[in-house]
Structure 1
Amino acid sequence: MTEQQRNARFALAVLFGINLMNFFDRQIAGALGEPIRIEFGLSDTQLGLVSTVFTLVYAAVGVPLGRLTDNWLRTRLIAIGVTFWSVLTAASGLAWNFTSFLLTRIGVGIGEASCAPAGQSLIGDLYPPERRARAMAIFMLGLPLGLFLAYMLGGYIGHHWGWRAAFLVACVPGLMLAGLALFIKEPPRGSVEARTSLALPGSPFRSVLRIKTMWWIVLSGLLFNFNTYAVNVFQTPFLQRFHQLGLQDANTISAVSLGLSGAIGLFVGGWLGDRLRVQRPNGRVLVAAFALLFAAPCVFMALQQPQGGIVLFAVLMGASTAMSFAYYSTVYSAIQDVVAPNLRGTAVSLYFFAMYVLGASFGSTIMGALSDSFAQQAMVSAGASTMEETFRAAGLHSAMYVIPILMLLCAGSLFGAARTIAADMRAMQTQTR
Structure 2
Amino acid sequence: MDMHALTAKKADADSYLFGPRQAWFAFAMTIALMMVDYIDRQVIVSLFPHLKEAWGLSDKQLGALVSVVSVTVALAALPIALFADRGSRVKSIVVMATTWSLATISCMFTRNYSQLLAARAVVGLGEAGYGAVGSALIASHFPARMRGALLAGFFAAASVGSVMGVMLGGLIAARWGWQAAFGVVGIPGLVLALVYSKVRDYRTVDLTPRLDRATRSTGSVVRAIVQALTRSRTMLWVCIGGSAQLIVVSAVWAWLPSYLNRVHGMAPDRAAISAAMVVLSGAVGSVVWGALIDRAGRRRPRAKLLAMAFLCIASLAVLVTAFGAPRFGIAMTAQAQFLLVILGGFLMTCTVGPVSAVVIDVIHPGIRATGASVLALFQNLFGLAAGPFIAGILSDAWTLEQALTAMPLFAVVAGWAFLRASRSYEPDLERVGQTLKEEQAALEPPAANSALA
TM-score (norm 2): 0.85
Alignment counterpart, residue 345 of structure 1, candidates 369, 372, 385: 369
- Residue 5 (structure 1) aligns with: 20
Q: Would you say the 8 A contact 2:362–2:429 is kept in 1?
A: yes
1:273 partnered with 2:328: no
Q: What's the RMSD between the two structures over aligned residues?
A: 2.0
2:258 alignment counterpart: 237
After superposition, the C-alpha distances for 1:116-140 in whole angstroms (9 at most, x for unaligned) are 1110110121112211011112211
- Could you tell me which residue of structure 2 aligns to residue 64 of structure 1? 79
1:25 to 40, 50, 54: 40
> Shift in Å at residue 42 of structure 1?
0.5
Q: After TM superposition, give the deviation of residue 63 of structure 1 in Å.
A: 1.2
Q: Which of 425, 431, 435 is the equivalent residue of 1:427? A: 431
Q: Which residue of 2 aligns with 1:161?
A: 176
Instruction: Please point out which of 93, 97, 101 is paired with 1:86.
Output: 101
CA-CA distance at 1:416 after TM superposition: 1.3
Q: Structure 1: how far apart are the matches of 2:61 and 2:367?
A: 37
Tell me if structure 2 keeps the 8 A contact 1:67–1:345. yes
Rate the CA distance shift 1:184–1:405 in 2: closer, same or farther, 3 A: same
Corresponding residue SS for 1:188: coil
Identity among equivalent positions (%) equals 27
Deviation readout 1:169-226 (Å, 9 max, x if unpaired):
0112111111121111112357xxxxx9755456342453221111101111221222
Q: How does 1:93-242 map to 2 (within 5 A)?
A: 93-188=108-203, 198=208, 200=210, 203=214, 204-209=224-229, 210-242=231-263
Change beyond 3 A, Cα 1:128–1:8 = same
**Local SS of the residue matching 2:92:** helix
- Give the residue type in structure 1 aligned to 2:98: T
| Amino acid aligned to 1:297 | A
Deviation readout 1:84-123 (Å, 9 max, x if unpaired) = 1001111111111101101110110000013111101101
- Give the match's secondary structure for 1:400: helix
Query: Partners of 1:199 and 1:145 in 2: how far apart?
Result: 42
Q: Which amino acid aligns with 1:298?
A: V
C-alpha distance in structure 2 between counterparts of 1:113 and 1:330, whole Å: 20
- Equivalenced residue count is 407
Give me the whole-angstrom Cα distance separating, in 2, the residues matched to 1:91 and 1:230: 26
The corresponding residue for 2:355 is 331
Which residue does 1:313 correspond to in 2? 337
> Residues 25 and 310 from structure 1, CA distance in 2 versus in 1: closer, same or farther, beyond 3 angstroms?
farther
Aligned position for 1:256 = 277
Which of 80, 90, 104 matches 1:75?
A: 90
Contact 1:137-1:267 at 8 Å conserved across structures: yes
**2:383 pairs with one of 359, 377, 391:** 359
CA contact (8 A) 2:43 2:182 kept: yes
Distance 2:152 2:379 in 1: 20
Instruction: Give the corresponding residue for 2:62.
Output: 47
Give the Cα separation in 2 of the matches to 1:129 and 1:286: 21
User: Structure 1 residues 50-59 or 328-337, which shifts more?
Assistant: 50-59
Offset at 1:243? 0.9
Which shows bigger deviation, 72-81 or 157-166?
A: 157-166
Counterpart code for 1:4 = G
* 1:317-344 per-position Cα deviation (integer Å, ceiling 9, x unaligned): 2111212222112111111111111122
Q: Deviations over 1:136-166 (max 9, x none)?
A: 1221121121111112211111111111111
**Residue 270 (structure 1) shift:** 2.2
AA matched with 2:425: I
CA distance 1:352–1:420, change in 2 (3 Å): same
Which stretch of structure 1 is more off in the superposition, 171-180 or 307-316? 307-316
Q: Distance in 1 between matches of 2:144 and 2:293?
A: 12
Q: 1:87 to 1:161 in 2, by over 3 A?
A: same
Partner of 2:451: none
Give unpaired runs (5+ residues) of structure 1: 191-195, 375-394
Which residue in 2 is equivalent to 1:297? 317
Compute the displacement of 1:238 (Å). 1.0
Does 1:416 pair with 2:417? no
In structure 1, how many angstroms separate the alpha carbons of the residues matched to 2:384 and 2:295? 31
Residue 366 of structure 1 aligns with an amino acid whose one-letter code is I
Instruction: Using the TM superposition, name which of 197-206 and 406-415 deviates more.
Output: 197-206
Cα distance, 1:240–1:309 mapped onto 2, change above 3 Å = farther
Q: Please say if residues 87 and 204 of structure 2, whose CA atoms lie closer than 8 Å, have aligned partners that are also in contact.
A: no
Deviations 1:357-392 (A, max 9, x none): 233323222211111112xxxxxxxxxxxxxxxxxx
List runs of 5+ in structure 2 lacking aligned partners. Answer: 1-14, 215-223, 438-453
Q: Distance in 2 between matches of 1:187 and 1:351?
A: 22
Partners of 1:426 and 1:328 in 2: how far apart? 24
Q: Which whole-Å CA distance do the structure 1 matches of 2:429 and 2:143 have between them?
A: 15
C-alpha contact (below 8 Å) 2:90/2:197 kept by paired residues: yes
CA contact (8 A) 1:224 1:410 kept: yes
The 8 Å contact of residues 284 and 331 in structure 1, kept in 2 or not, is answered as no
The amino acid that maps onto 1:53 is V
